[in-house]
């Protein structure tokens, strides 16, 4: 199947990541074969189609995108329920280059979405990156538990509170 072909899939899980952020999980074979840094075009019927970073790449299961409501399309995505349908195209883009033996990753907010799979890829290759995760408040540290489990002391937290 060509990546630019629209595929319809159902939302299998919705997970609240912070007070204003959610991850939408769905099963889509091409998405499960993406590389960190690639993105998907997510289509919401009768609303719009928007580019979204892939926040979970699982070859044996569901993939996800993580977002906050900032416009019509993302507000519509945040209003979806498990079982609702969306269209998916992609993955698109070249992804990140995995190089170096002591990478430093810095992200906050929705930027964490594309760098978390990158950190997981480094660890799978035997390289443990340092990850600086930032947010305004401790409650807004997206993927904190996931990254702590992956990186331990290699995770540095930075908040304004």
pLDDT digits (tens, 9 = 90+) for 67-116: 999 999 999 999 999 999 999 999 999 999 988 899 999 999 999 999 99
Give the CATH class of 104-159.
Answer: alpha beta
Residues 43, 88 contacting (CB under 8 angstroms): yes
CATH 2.40.30.10 in the chain: give the residue spans.
Answer: 7-92
CA proximity to 12, closest of 56, 72, 75: 56
Q: State the pLDDT confidence band at 39, using cuts at 50, 70 and 90.
A: very high
Mean pLDDT of all residues belonging to the chain: 95
Residues 34, 13 contacting (CB under 8 angstroms): no
Percentage of the chain modeled with pLDDT above 90 = 89
CATH numeric code, 7-92: 2.40.30.10
> What is the distance between the alpha carbons of residues 54 and 30, in angstroms, rounded to a whole number?
12
CA proximity to 119, closest of 129, 107, 110, 109: 129
Instruction: Give the pTM.
Output: 0.93
pLDDT at site 43: 97
> What is the distance between the alpha carbons of residues 155 and 148, in angstroms, rounded to a whole number?
6
CATH 3.40.50.80 in the chain: give the residue spans.
Answer: 104-159
């Amino acid at each position: 199947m060509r990546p630019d072909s629209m595929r319809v899939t159902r939302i299998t899980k919705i997970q609240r990541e912070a007070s204003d952020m959610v991850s939408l999980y769905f099963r889509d074979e091409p998405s499960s074969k993406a590389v960190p840094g690639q993105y998907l075009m997510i289509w919401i019927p009768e609303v719009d189609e928007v580019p979204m970073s892939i926040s979970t790449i699982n070859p044996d299961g569901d993939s996800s995108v993580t977002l906050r409501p900032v416009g019509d399309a993302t507000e519509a995505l945040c209003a979806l329920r498990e079982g609702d349908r969306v269209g998916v195209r992609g993955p698109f883009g070249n992804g990140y280059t995995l190089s170096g033996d002591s990478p430093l990753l810095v992200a906050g907010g929705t930027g964490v979405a594309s760098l978390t799979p990158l950190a997981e890829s480094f660890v799978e290759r035997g390289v443990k990156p340092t990850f600086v995760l930032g947010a305004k408040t401790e409650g807004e540290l997206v993927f904190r538990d996931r990254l702590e489990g992956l990186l331990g002391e290699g995770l540095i937290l930075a908040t304004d509170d």
